[in-house]
Amino acid sequence: MSPLLLVLLPTLAEGPMARAELSFARSEGGPEVDLLVEAAGAQLRARVAGRLGLRVEAGCGALRCRIALDGLAPAVDAALPQLLAVPASPAPRLTLPERKQARRSWRGAWRRPATVLDAALHRLAEGTSAPLGLRPDLGRSALATSWAAGWAQARRLVVAGDYSAEALTAALAGQEVSRVDTGSTGPPASRGNATRADAEGLPLLAVDWPDASRAQVALVWATDPAQAPRDQALAGDFQSHLVQALRETRTFTYDVSFDTFDTWATASWDVRPESAWESLTVALGELWEQGRKDDAGAREAAWRRLLLGRALLADTLHGRIAGSSLGPLPPLPAAPFSAPSVIGAVVVADLHALTPEWQALPHSELDRCTLLYGANCPPGS
């Protein structure tokens, strides 16, 4: 294994708490690595259960898989050796209920709105197709390979809070450690290039969900870390243009979700089907007009709200660790924002319930199961 990258974060006002998070880059493991990390977390939880209310969190996000200890500092200190033993341990065996649950979750994915929307966004922005594949391979050999690949490189241990330096030193004995003294470990790795909008019009991906009572609409645009203030002003918080327009002014929706990746960003909202088209045109209008609307005061306000986001992250142990992998905050923008390059839009709805304008747009249409599995819906789902 490569050396363990160690990041120690400062202690603030969190009281008698600590958090230790061991992680690896997501791209290093296979698709089944999510199950293995969760299973490893469950096994660690069983071993340390009852220890001063210690919480074990395990799972994979878009970029990293992690297992974390969270709780009163003495409990975290005491459980560090078990945490650090996880990478060298054999791949956890999935119990029969875990295998059943994994297969059930795979089969039922097409019924979960968030999963469908996420798959559609990644298909539009990155060309990712059939993310769930034909069937999860839960064979012992496949799992062992995924497990080993995941932990082989780029392991990172981040510790924050009221932990004991002596306990940490003792737990790390015998490990090859590369220490990083600052909180930042650089910007996250890129997941590939976003596709660009073609000149003919807005690429639209329509996913049919028969009998859905609501529609989910999303806009996708190109971005990079330097554009964070612009994206914040466009969709990043309650004061943003999209939330104000779609919620406060036009009352199409209660909330606009915003997410940003290395090269693309997305805003999505949930509306009545008859409002879906109009909400999209309003959102596009805000996007194209942003450069004209945002004066120096608005740009500074958006930048300050980014600053608040970083400060709120630093205010908690969990957030401080998450923030340690973010790049530095971009400087206060002096020049007007440039309108983002729109990659496309997604709608997930009962396509027959949408107003006719959608049908007139050039679009590609998919059913949920082709989107997720590349095939018909799994039998028994």
Partner 1 sequence: MIALLACALALPLPPAERFRFPAVRLDTSPTVVLLPEPGSGLVSAQWLFDTGAADDAPEEFGAAHLVEHLAFGDIGAEGAADYDERLGHLGGLSDGWTDRERAGIGATIPAADARSGADLFGLELARMRTLVVSGGSLTRQRAVITEELAETHDAAHGLDRVWLSRLLWSGGEPWSRHPASPPQEAIAAGAAMARWTRLLENGVLVLAGDFDAAELRALVEAALPAGRRPSPRTEGELGQPGCEPAAPATSWTRGNGNRGSVLVAWPVPGRGHRDRVALEALARWVGGARVSVGAGCGEWVAERTDAWLALPHHRASIVRALREVAARGLDAAVLDRVRAEAVADQARAFSSLPLRARVAAGCVLAGRAPDCAADEVQAWLDLTGEKLAGAAARWLPAEAVTTLAVLPPGTRFAPLIPGVREWSAP
Its sign, for the CA torsion 245, 248, 254, 258, is positive
What is the nearest approach in angstroms of partner 1 to the Cβ of residue 299? 11
Distance CA(241)–CA(252), nearest Å, equals 14
- Is 105 a binding residue for partner 1 by CB under 8 A? The answer is no
Pattern 220-239, partner 1, x by CB under 8 A? -----------------xxx
What is the nearest approach in angstroms of partner 1 to the Cβ of residue 202? 25
Among 97, 174, 297, 379, binds partner 1 (CB under 8 A): 297
Query: Site size for partner 1, by CB under 8 A?
Result: 47
- Residue whose C-alpha is closest to residue 69's, from 318, 331, 345: 318
Among 46, 55, 187, 357, binds partner 1 (CB under 8 A): 55
Among 271, 282, 321, 366, binds partner 1 (CB under 8 A): 271
Distance CA(66)–CA(59), nearest Å, equals 6
- Is 213 a binding residue for partner 1 by CB under 8 A? The answer is yes
Q: 108-114: long-range contacts at Cβ-Cβ below 8 A with a sequence spacing of 24 or more? A: 108/381, 109/372, 110/368, 110/369, 110/372, 110/373, 110/377, 110/381, 111/381, 113/209, 113/216, 113/348
Q: Contacts with partner 1 in 156-195 (CB under 8 A)?
A: none
- Is 314 a binding residue for partner 1 by CB under 8 A? The answer is yes
- Is 46 a binding residue for partner 1 by CB under 8 A? The answer is no
Among 5, 11, 12, 149, binds partner 1 (CB under 8 A): 12
Among 1, 144, 312, 375, binds partner 1 (CB under 8 A): 312
- Is 103 a binding residue for partner 1 by CB under 8 A? The answer is no
Give the Cα-Cα-Cα angle 100, 104, 110 (nearest 5 degrees): 165
72 vs 120, which CB is nearer to partner 1? 72
What number of CA atoms fall less than 13 Å from residue 182's CA on the CB side? 7
Find the farthest-apart pair of alpha carbons in the chain and give their distance in angstroms, rounded.
Answer: 67
Q: 316-320: long-range contacts at Cβ-Cβ below 8 A with a sequence spacing of 24 or more? A: 316/14, 317/14, 317/17, 317/18, 317/19, 317/70, 317/160, 317/161, 318/19, 318/70, 320/9, 320/10, 320/12, 320/160, 320/183
What is the nearest approach in angstroms of partner 1 to the Cβ of residue 241? 11
Among 6, 7, 8, 17, binds partner 1 (CB under 8 A): 17
Contacting residues for 280 by C-beta, under 8 A, at least 6 apart: 217, 219, 345, 347
Q: Using an 8 Å Cβ cutoff, are 223 and 340 in contact?
A: yes
- Is 14 a binding residue for partner 1 by CB under 8 A? The answer is yes
Angle separating helix axes 96-107 and 33-48, nearest 10 degrees:
140
Of 70-78, 167-175, 185-193, 223-231: span binding partner 1 (CB under 8 A): 70-78
Among 5, 152, 305, 332, binds partner 1 (CB under 8 A): 305
CB-based burial, 316-325: b 16+ in 10 Å, e otherwise? bbebbbbbbb
Q: Contacts with partner 1 in 109-138 (CB under 8 A)?
A: none
160 vs 351, which CB is nearer to partner 1? 160
Among 20, 21, 35, 71, binds partner 1 (CB under 8 A): 71
Among 106, 163, 221, 252, binds partner 1 (CB under 8 A): 252
- Is 43 a binding residue for partner 1 by CB under 8 A? The answer is no
Binding region for partner 1 (CB under 8 A): 12-17, 48-55, 71-72, 74-75, 78, 213-214, 237-239, 247-248, 251-255, 270-272, 297, 301, 303-305, 307-308, 311-312, 314-317
